[in-house]
Amino acid sequence: MTTAASTPSPRVLIVTGASAGIGAALARAAARDGYAVLAIARRAERLGALAAAIAAAGGRAATLALDVTAADAPQRIVATALETFGAIDVLINNAGTGALGALLEIDDAALAAQWELHVAAPLRIARATRPALRARRGALIFLGSGLARVPIPNYGAYALAKAAIRAAATQLRRELRAEGIAVGYVDPGLVATEFHATLGIERTRGLRALDPERVARAILRGVARRRASIAGSALQRAGTVLAEWAGPLLDGVAVQLAPASPAPVVPPPPPPVAAPATPARADGVDAALAPVARRMERVKLSSGFVRDALVPGATLELNELAMRWAGMPNKNERAALREVLEALESAGYLQREGEDSWSVTRAAD
């Protein structure tokens, strides 16, 4: 954690996904508005630069580098905010990324990862911050998407998760009303961020992307006015509402707007039956990885990364390890990493603990 200032502040704002895009813009704008900001993301170096810029402009910020889906993330976030600033007034759940793929072709791991990032993690953090928000009659904000109203093919897991958090925001607004906590849902519109580039696709042509700074200002105005519904662009939101109302009439247009689906995963050929592989206990990690070597090469997964992960006694979680390796892993990368872990399990290096977790039983040779 890095801290740009340590004296108490009357207003404290937490924003996740703060290393770029809307999150970084929110941190800067909130600091200009007099908030003490706790900026959270996985990329520590970007958070450090953000905190330094805020401090140079006379603002106050602290940073916390973590994955919001980690089991201990909510407790660490609350502890850091209270220890650094003494209160929490606003929580903005902004962290997120997309996932490409037709809905029935997305594997369980990709579906689960989108749910964890966009629904489960924000709700866990909201639960942890609830007492502090209640004490200050604070605000709880969830970032949504136009895809929650108007799903487009090949955004399957992302659209579902955003629709779920939209419904959750409405439910929480009604449940927390008596506690004095304002709950807001943000439809940011099409924004000029890293979202599309991370997925390897282009933004929709013919529609002007909004400046993240403009969207950040709109969100903070909504927070100040305790609005239940906040739009990055009133015009874009109106278009989304009309498209939702049109329903099946716009199915053809939605199909035309869909990004290309990633190529299906093609499993490597099985090893020849007549010449079974020698167990890795005799030949080492390279022999264990031989059946998936071509797959690793295609997704640029190095054997060095795999070897470094083999720390006896450690637990390897598929989602966490994929993010550590690829940052924002796509479906193919996640599937390839699963095959690698299963190969190491067969070779005796790992022991399965759950559907997506293994314990390391043996170090690399």
| Residues 103 and 157 sit within 8 Å (Cβ to Cβ) | yes
Q: 269 — phi, psi (to 5°)?
A: -65, 145
CA 298, chain centre distance (Å): 25
Which 3 state secondary structure label does DSSP give 266?
Answer: coil
Catalytic residue among 35, 155, 158, 349: 158
With CA atoms as reference, report the closest residue to 263 among 201, 332, 337: 332
HSE, side-chain direction, 13 A CA sphere, residue 168: 23
Catalytic (active site) residue 185 = no
What are the structure tokens assigned to 268, written together? 């490597």
Q: Residue 42: which of 110, 83, 95 has the closest Cα?
A: 95
Q: Catalytic site residues?
A: 158
